[in-house]
Chains A and B, each alone.
Chain A
Amino acid sequence: MLQAKAGQFFSSGHTNNWAVLVCTSRFWFNYRHVANTLSVYRSVKRLGIPDSHIVLMLADDMACNHRNPKPATVFSHKNMELNVYGDDVEVDYRGYEVTVENFLRVLTGRLPPSTPRSKRLLSDDHSNILIYLTGHGGNGFLKFQDSEEISNVELADAFEQMWTKRRYNELLFIIDTCQGASMYERFYSPNLMALASSQVGEDSLSHQPDLAIGVHLMDRYTFYLLEFLEDIHPASTANMNDLFKVCPKSQCVSTPGHRTDLFLRDPGNVLITDFFGSVRKVEITMETINLTAPMVKVTSHIKCYREELTVLSSRTKG
């Protein structure tokens, strides 16, 4: 019986997890974007990914902003229930370092030799990477720092570079901005799964203002995402189909979307912890398992499927 399940141990094909979490907006009234990113950071750390494998990019410092009536805190729930800042937040790119150029260099690995390890994405072809972007966006672009934009074509090309350089095994892309679905329209590399908080033409809305702090604390999609992730623990068997159900239109007001056509495995077989946690599959057993039977490695599948994939596959509406 365990032998039957042995296939599961090698099914995902990844050996390490990375996360790149980016908040692209600055200024005090964009408090919620920093809170969004820190909430995902918190979940990802709790589920096991260490700081050395997380590249956290925050465009502004909300905790120490002069206008913050609760200095050194960033709250994600009103009435100050949950402080996502804490003592052990390690920000790798801060303030004006969060630029489109730096983001793309992190993804593609083309950084100057003097860049420290904490600022690099040192992934290999067995890494599962989670990329989370939040900020202000539009149809086909995401605004960085109120002064520049990244387009969906640039992002798709960056992912293609990553694929060609064998920098990921599988990649989960989550974006929480207005018209977020436009950012994953142009992807054409294999093994990409994407989620967005709203469709083209829709705005992503913020969740709740806190009257003491005076700003909106979170965006709706990430608020419900955080609620969902709080229930996930390292041994959880929740899969991607559950993630797609997070924040239906009744809660989010916008329609979240996802795209799985470039992904080789069935989303129902992909565990949440494959991307959000750093989980080692360890099961203690006294039995012996016969591993001499040939096992089909996933990487060969990838080589077969690559020729079949067309460049601009059809969009998947959520």
Chain B
Amino acid sequence: MGLLSDPNRRRALTKLLTRLNAPICGMPVDWLVKTMQSRGLEVFTQSFTRKLPFPDENKERYMVRGTNVYGILRAPRAPRTEALVLSAPCSEGNNNNQAVGLLLGLAQYFRSQIHWAKDIIFLVNEHDLIGMQAWLEGYHHTNTTGGDWSPLQGRGGSIQAALSLELSSDVITSLDLVLEGLNGQLPNLDLANLFYAFCQKIGVLCTIQGKLQRNDWDTTSGYSHAAQTMMLMVLKQASGRPWGDHGLFLRYHIEAASIRGINSFRQYKTDTTTIGRLLEGMYRKLNNLLERLHQSYFFYLMPSLSRFVSIGYYMPAFGLLAVILLLRALDLWVQLGASPPGTEDGPSSPGVLSILTPVVISHMTGVALYTLPILSQEMAVQHFPVSETEAVVLTAIAIYTAGLALPHNTHRLLQGEGTEEGWRVLKLVALLYLAVLLGCTALINFSLGFILALSLVPIAAFITPHTPKALSAAIMVLLSPGCTLLYCVFVFQELQETPVSLQDGWMLFLSVISQGILDHALYGSLVYPLLALLIYPCWLLLWNILFWK
């Protein structure tokens, strides 16, 4: 995992590079400033530093330093109250070498138009999402994730919409639209409709999730193609990470999308000028807007660019799953009410203590899963020959698996518990807790809530101490959040038509975990804390019920 998994070798290389003063990602700040100024923009820079909790495979270091460069094209006649953003991330090597050129070309062209009613900000950000997060925090005067950045010297008013460009080659055969943002937030559907309408008008092939639209809706293969596209969107939304630089804008209620150019060696190619025309058309439309985009849906799933499934259609599916939990809880409540009271010597209710113990222990395991991996990476690296990233991920997996041994240990601590009523009360609490948790998750990020519901509702409904232990234990482990994540990784690769072997899938799974932890630390993604602090303890409660004595 990573080219330099030996920490000693990595430290040596870093020292060498710092001595040579050769940046790993070279962003030509001075050249950009000069070029933007020559095109008549007001140019400003912002430098930022970010300390990562552990070095990930992309950055290979703890401290990330960079500079964002942005130029503002002021509207000729309008007051400076609103702005639009066009951004191109500066990535290493050849990843995005064309986008900045197109950005500068558009800046020059836009400068000669007089019909702009909003300021247009042309932003080139370094280190992709880290730089974008620093810029957005500086622009809106917030500091939610603890980064360190210099304040912005120039502003353009409230941002109405933003587009992020990723073009890696100058010959494009299709344009891919990326909508999923941080925590599964999506821009207004009108932005996707705008992109699609302009692609149709200009005659560029456009895709979503990298898949072209098919016209045969009625046939089985057409339907399955659409279902696969929608499943990809569900998986991407559930991961909670921003899939393009636009993903961080959505938190500030700025409608944003990423446009990625794809060269798939088709016969019909489009050049950069056509893409420039498309972008010009989109920006002119956004310029004519008098209010923020709000007329269309904010919650939707797209089986193709011209069709969508709105929240009114997909929420009942989740509702039905949640109802199972509530019905089971109702059943348990009735059972508890019907059992004769005062049949034991002790207090008539099993006692809050015996219920509280599993709950507290499960949550403390969750807290351990949340905090220990990062805190103990130093210690782990000293004792084992792994890199920091691997240490973090493997510690997480170790704590997760250690939780499976809990019920046996807690039973050694307490005596005299384990009545029929005891596990019923615990299960009632667990069911209601799970129902509330899944409901809240589905409201914020429907895909995540639905996938968790699919795997957790069956086991929550059927697990009792009386079901066959071995089989139930196996099913519970197979449907636990960790394994669900593993399946999702495999399914995701399968749907993207790049199936992986078990070995590669496992490595991918590990990197997904590390990315999730990093996303939470850097951008405030809620998936990792949700899974570690809330879902995993809930699953542990059910595991506890299974092994109730």
Contact = CB atoms under 8 A, between A and B. Distances in A.
A29 B115 CA distance: 14
Contacts, number: 25
A65 to B, nearest CB: 8
How many B residues are at the interface, by size bracket? 10 to 19
Contacts of B78: 66
Interface stretch (A67-75, A131-139, A259-267): A67-75
Q: Is the interface of A mostly helix, strand, loop or mixed?
A: loop
Interface in B270-311: 284, 287-288, 290
Contacts of A29: 288
B77 interface: yes
A255 B76 CA distance: 43
A67 B287 contact: yes
A71 B117 CA distance: 13
A146 B287 CA distance: 20
A224 interface: no
B114 A69 contact: yes
B202 to A, nearest CB: 13
Nearest to A213: B115
Contacts of A69: 113-115
Interface string B91-128: 00000000000000000000001111100000000000
A50 interface: no
A217 B477 CA distance: 66
Given A67-B117, A69-B113, A69-B114, A214 B284 contact: yes
B290 A28 contact: yes
Nearest to A26: B290
A28 B288 contact: yes
B230 interface: no
B36 interface: no
Interface string A46-73: 0000000000000000000111110100
Nearest to B117: A66
B9 to A, nearest CB: 59
B288 A71 contact: no
Contacts of B115: 66-69, 214
A27 interface: yes
Interface string B64-82: 0000000000011110000
Interface string A67-101: 11101000000000000000000000000000000
Contacts of A67: 115, 117, 287-288
A197 B116 CA distance: 34
B113 A71 contact: no
Given A66-B117, A214-B284, A71 B290 contact: no
B114 A71 contact: yes
Interface string A1-40: 0000000000000000000000000011100000000000
Contacts of B288: 28-29, 67, 214
A32 to B, nearest CB: 14
Nearest to A64: B77
Interface of A: 27-29, 65-69, 71, 214
25 contacts: A27-B290, A28-B288, A28-B290, A29-B288, A65-B117, A66-B75, A66-B76, A66-B77, A66-B78, A66-B115, A66-B116, A66-B117, A67-B115, A67-B117, A67-B287, A67-B288, A68-B115, A69-B113, A69-B114, A69-B115, A71-B77, A71-B114, A214-B115, A214-B284, A214-B288
The 7 closest A-B pairs by CB, nearest first: A66-B117, A66-B78, A69-B115, A67-B117, A66-B77, A67-B115, A27-B290
